[in-house]
Amino acid sequence: MGATARNIVCAHCQAVNRVPGDRDPKQGKCGRCGKPLFEGHPFATGGAAFDKQIDRSDVPVVVDFWADWCGPCKMMAPAYEQVALELEPNFRFLKVDTEAEQALAARYNIRSIPTLMVFRHGAVLAQRAGALDRNSLRAWLTQIPVG
């Protein structure tokens, strides 16, 4: 018997795609828009698209709450990109610009940036404020219980 199918939300069109457990999600394409389900980099999101990603995806969703004027955010960005490349499809990586998405920042009580949050089925699994280097970020994510 094969592994359980997983719901993956397309980062482009927000369609929910059911990916059979015996298929490599990295090879999957969206049934609606045809774009790859995983591209090895974080996606900018906000509003209803953010809610759908964190609520409907069976894959844990890592969110970087950041701002363009934030020096530590800019310093961490390459590490976040690299870890996304390494850990997808086990995680989905998103970025939320707190200046453009002030309501989201308020909803999650973001007081300092960068703040990283990990969600699964709408619930917060982990949260951490402050910039991390690649190794620290990877180590933090891989110790989070996502089952």
Q: What is the pLDDT of residue 49?
A: 97
Mean pLDDT of successive 10-residue stretches along the chain, which has 147 residues? 83 96 91 97 96 96 98 98 97 98 98 98 97 98 87
Task: Classify the phi-psi angles of 10: left when phi > 0, otherwise alpha if psi is within -120 to 50, otherwise beta.
Answer: beta
Which residues are 63's β-sheet partners? Answer: 94, 117
Of 113, 81, 103, 76, the residue nearest 94 (C-alpha):
81
Q: What is the pLDDT of residue 145?
A: 85
pLDDT in tens, 96-129: 999 999 999 999 999 999 999 999 999 999 999 9
Task: Classify the phi-psi angles of 14: left when phi > 0, otherwise alpha if psi is within -120 to 50, otherwise beta.
Answer: left
Q: What is the pLDDT of residue 1?
A: 44
Q: What is the pLDDT of residue 147?
A: 64
Predicted structure pTM score:
0.95
Domains for the chain: give ranges and CATH numbers.
40-142 (3.40.30.10)
What letter does residue 137 receive in the DSSP assignment? Answer: H
73: annotated active-site residue: yes
13: annotated active-site residue: no
Q: What is the pLDDT of residue 74?
A: 98
Q: What is the pLDDT of residue 56?
A: 97
Catalytic residue among 10, 30, 33, 70: 70
Q: What is the pLDDT of residue 2?
A: 53
Residue 33 three-state SS: coil
